[in-house]
Structure 1
Amino acid sequence: MEALTRHARRTRTVVIGGGIAGLASAALLAREGHDVTLLEARGELGGRAGSWDAGGFRFDTGPSWYLMPEVFDHFYRLLGTSAAEQLDLSRLDPGYRVYFEAQAEPVDIAADREANLRTFERIEPGAGAALDRYLDSAEETYRMAVGRFLYTSFASFRPFLDRAVIGRLGRLARLLLQPLDRFAAGYFRDPRLRQILGFPAVFLGSSPGRTPSMYHLMSYLDLADGVLYPQGGFTRVIDSIADLARAEGVRVLTGARVTGIRAAAPMTSRGKTRRTGAARPPASAVAGVNYLGPDGTTVELDCDVVVSAADLHHTETELVPAEQRTYPERWWRRRVSGPGAVLVMLGVRGELPELQHHTLFFTSDWKENFGRIFGKNPSVPAPASFYACMPSATDATVAPSGTANLFLLVPIPADPSLGRGGIAGAGDAAIEAIADAAIGQLSEWAGIPDLMERIVVRRTVGPGDFAEDLNSWRGGALGPGHTLRQSAFLRGSNASARVDGLYYAGGTTIPGIGLPMCLISAEILLKRIRSDTSTGPLPEPL
């Protein structure tokens, strides 16, 4: 298995989308020797991991949890640097706080595993030892996932036919078939503890009752490994990867909206692909892309390879010609979207000691809450379980002195018809009402009765914004949820089956949702192009 090397041959490659997956893909491919142009439709980079400034406040508009730090560090080392060189990381302690409906006291999750064992024991006798076993299982599952499943394209199943995997087939089957909520219930009786262990399913675009218990590995990340924060926010992460991509020679064009991917008959015979030589039925081959420049002029850009890090549904149903689609609309009718969301960005006078950097608010009736989001007749939960981020607790640069920067994420059904957000209450009525309800709920549960009156900056974002600005399928905030049928190789391939030279990266393809997964998707892309079917991370340069 070769490390990243420079080759003499220059493959003309276009990357669509300037989010973290597109930037990471472009950087790795340029280092590999490709001649890379990255096209981003919006005026700024970052995609879902964007930012917004107003009144001296700076908000990350998307991801806000820095987990799986070794994935970031590995990616940076592939490009000859490190996370320590690129980022100023702070460890959060507590990692996060949880408020529960009808409970007077919140629960803090510490940066230390032993402290969390004591917290669980205090809430439920015997739960400390149970959490110890649970986290041992979570760590083992995490190590297995990193070594065997997350870094593979599933282009070949031969690497899985070894004793290490075969010997764990029984356990793997249980972890895949048993939902996360039932798995946690096997360890704990107290509903608060079950909720703490089940809520990571939401960040995977699903619910605890629909997510395979394989993903209990997430609890190792926050309860044992700890939660970090990059000073300057996640904008700093995006900027660092964009800088590295440019240093590798990537041409980054913003305001360049791709309108189509062009394909033609491949220059081969006997049904061989141009790039891998693997036998398969004759296919079309990438010829280039068309995009609209900032002045509205159509540009035709020829290339050998296209990597779409845009939403996969948008790519396949809007950019690829109908007869060349691997994932047409009928495929998506069998898929399950992750939740939509209302995002609320608030600049607040005064400090908010009742909140931590990360704070979660959990309703008592989760079945009702998640049923409204993912059920057959979806509706907005009321009250809702939601998440609040206050980076001003850790980062002095994101808010003026004596104020607080507050970001709320309220999971709701993925439905663009619910509307769009706006600034200073100017969003659609349904979105602003959801925001008002969340602010009121936070105010009541955390004991901040004057919160609404202290707001000096306000912006909301709704599913309509995700659909319009990010081409997000069904206006979802995250992408296809991590249900059993949408995990691992069942999530889809990162290479087109009908257009040779067309590949995918990002949270809507393998391995899935989240910034670390997007970095891994860029590495899997490189391995796919190399015809590398290994299951672990690439070797790092000395």
Structure 2
Amino acid sequence: MKQIVIIGAGISGLAAAALLGRQGHTVTLLEKKETTGGRAGSWEKQGFRFDTGPSWYLMPEVFDHFYELMGSSTSEQLDLSRLDPGYRAYFEGQQEPFDLAGTAEAFESLVALDPEHREGITAYVESARDTYNIALKRFLYGSFRSAKDLVHPSVLRRLPQLVGLLSRSLDQKIQAHTADPRMRRVLGYPAVFLGGSPLKTPAMYHLMTHLDVNAGVLYPQGGFNRVVESIETLARQSGATIITGADAQKILVDEGVAGGVEYIDSSGERHRIYGDTVVAACDLHFVEHQLLDKENRDHSERWWAKADSGPGAVLAMLGVEGELPELAHHTLFFADDWEKGFAELEGNTLPETPSIYIGKPSASDASVAPDGYENLFVLIPVAARPEFGHGGEDGTGDEQIERFVDRAIEQVAEWANIPDLAERIVVRRTVSPADFQHELGAWKGTALGPSHILTQSAVFRASNRSKKVKNLLFAGSSTIPGIGVPMCLISAELVVKEMMGDKSMKALKSL
């Protein structure tokens, strides 16, 4: 058994600590902030509790598998509710919203948007199911260190299909199956939650539609804060030591071998903790540019200059007086100018009429807001540019950010016909790309991580093992398999497999 030091107590760091501790390793987890969770954080004020990051519970099989490896189960750890509708969507200039049914009628509700193309939509959804299943079984749990499992008969049979899904964009695939512009938005927007644009994200990721339509949308009572709590508890039960207020300064490397971490505690005292293996479960750009000397970095400045950071986001956490039946648990607001909206995510200015996501967990969870109030989490994709300024509480953020949020609230109020929305807000906090950069060490202030364009997906994504430093491993959304809570759980398992010498593409059966 080894002494292991992990940097970063986000989802991937906590999960890695839990899995490695359960194997019997001695694990110390260092976290800069006083709380755990990373992007999946939590904020409370005046009886409201907000998740500050993930809000869609997707890929339930991945959660089930993680909890089983830990000797537990999802039902033991979480109280899941099925949402109905799965989500609601408003389209610019149209009064009636679209609801995706959260029941067996989900597919029929989707087809109702474009009944003339039922056959094409059916083929799209079935392809999404098949692609999801093959990805889960043959790709997501592998580090692409061995070609053996990539030539499995189930993969070879689908090779022409898989090549096609990688060679064209998600948007192109959607338009080959439906002609309705509303469907283009509904099926394409999940790319944003993968840190990208449907105009650039490979068609492979149409698999996300399977999760909404075939699997249904779930919600853990207590929100993702409860997910974080459960993983942290399992990590501690496995014997892991978690030190918060521990700001990592340097990964200790001696003759090409990682041997520990130097950090500063909350009192300003400097410490060194030694180990046989270091796992950096934080933003890869931060690791390479802040924690490693230049000669120990895998990627050059030229590589980083060409890489796609993915979009940033402006967030608003709003406590609102009174009920908001116009909004579902998940509500999307789609702007008309689709191409312009995504072009603005790579520009130098904040978007004029953005597409917006709003989570209203108080629709399903009484614990997140006082009686008679609603909890809103507003996410507005923007370019990943810290120079836009910082957010703040109760309107104290930089003027450009606060005015942008004011306009977004006005947009939501108009499209959803809630004319007094702004006047009913009693709690407000905004977060910007500058805050993601400052608080989380996010490269360029990206909200999610490097986008899933072709050259940053699957085998082309950054590895979970350092090429320059022995015994240095990586986990989190910057590395394989990618963005999202399920992907971060898998990345933690890939660390375990790397230490075991397991080069297969399959999930572990046990620890």
| Partner residue, 1:261 | 251
Structure 2 counterparts to residues 182-193 of structure 1, below 5 A: 182-193=172-183
Superposed displacement of residue 347, structure 1? 0.4
| Partner residue, 1:501 | 471
2:438 to 444, 454, 468: 468
- Is 1:534 aligned to residue 504 of structure 2? yes
Q: List alignment gaps of at least 5 residues for structure 1.
A: 1-9, 266-283
Structure 2 counterparts to residues 282-293 of structure 1, below 5 A: 284-293=256-265
2:17 to 26, 39, 49: 26
- Is 1:74 aligned to residue 65 of structure 2? yes
| Partner residue, 1:3 | none
| Partner residue, 2:211 | 221
Superposed displacement of residue 125, structure 1? 2.6
Structure 2 counterparts to residues 136-147 of structure 1, below 5 A: 136-147=126-137
SS in 2 for 1:359: strand
SS in 2 for 1:199: helix
- Kept in 2, the 8 Å contact 1:419–1:462? The answer is yes
Superposed displacement of residue 60, structure 1? 0.3
Moved more, 34-43 or 152-161: 152-161
| Partner residue, 1:6 | none
SS in 2 for 1:500: coil
- Kept in 2, the 8 Å contact 1:74–1:540? The answer is no
- Kept in 2, the 8 Å contact 1:15–1:306? The answer is yes
Equivalent-residue separation in structure 2 for 1:76 and 1:507 (angstroms): 20
State the superposition RMSD in angstroms. Answer: 1.1
Superposed displacement of residue 164, structure 1? 2.5
Corresponding letter in the other structure for 1:358: H
Structure 2 counterparts to residues 83-162 of structure 1, below 5 A: 83-113=74-104, 115-162=105-152
- Is 1:454 aligned to residue 424 of structure 2? yes
2:239 to 218, 241, 249: 249
Moved more, 62-71 or 161-170: 161-170
- Kept in 2, the 8 Å contact 1:118–1:128? The answer is no
Superposed displacement of residue 116, structure 1? 3.0
Superposed displacement of residue 514, structure 1? 0.3
Moved more, 349-358 or 126-135: 126-135
Q: Deviations over 1:485-521 (max 9, x none)?
A: 0000101210000100000001111000000000011
Superposed displacement of residue 302, structure 1? 1.1
The percent of aligned pairs where both chains have the same amino acid is 53
- Kept in 2, the 8 Å contact 1:308–1:503? The answer is yes
Corresponding letter in the other structure for 1:86: Q
Equivalent-residue separation in structure 2 for 1:34 and 1:410 (angstroms): 41
Superposed displacement of residue 328, structure 1? 3.5
- Kept in 2, the 8 Å contact 1:463–1:476? The answer is yes
Superposed displacement of residue 112, structure 1? 2.7
| Partner residue, 1:524 | 494
| Partner residue, 2:161 | 171
| Partner residue, 1:393 | 363
- Kept in 1, the 8 Å contact 2:117–2:178? The answer is yes
Q: Deviations over 1:125-162 (max 9, x none)?
A: 33334322211100100011011110001112222123
| Partner residue, 1:357 | 329
SS in 1 for 2:249: strand
Equivalent-residue separation in structure 2 for 1:475 and 1:125 (angstroms): 41
Q: List alignment gaps of at least 5 residues for structure 2.
A: none
Superposed displacement of residue 95, structure 1? 0.6
Equivalent-residue separation in structure 2 for 1:348 and 1:321 (angstroms): 48
Superposed displacement of residue 167, structure 1? 2.7
- Kept in 2, the 8 Å contact 1:211–1:484? The answer is yes
Corresponding letter in the other structure for 1:54: K
Moved more, 325-334 or 42-51: 325-334
- Kept in 1, the 8 Å contact 2:319–2:427? The answer is yes
Equivalent-residue separation in structure 2 for 1:19 and 1:144 (angstroms): 28
Equivalent-residue separation in structure 2 for 1:327 and 1:459 (angstroms): 36
- Is 1:371 aligned to residue 323 of structure 2? no
Q: Deviations over 1:427-460 (max 9, x none)?
A: 0111111111110000000000000000000000
Q: Deviations over 1:290-338 (max 9, x none)?
A: 0001111110111110001110100011101111111233321110011
- Kept in 1, the 8 Å contact 2:462–2:478? The answer is no
| Partner residue, 1:513 | 483
- Per the normalisation by structure 1, the TM-score is 0.93
SS in 2 for 1:431: helix
- Kept in 2, the 8 Å contact 1:117–1:131? The answer is no
Equivalent-residue separation in structure 2 for 1:74 and 1:468 (angstroms): 34
Corresponding letter in the other structure for 1:387: Y
Equivalent-residue separation in structure 2 for 1:122 and 1:310 (angstroms): 43
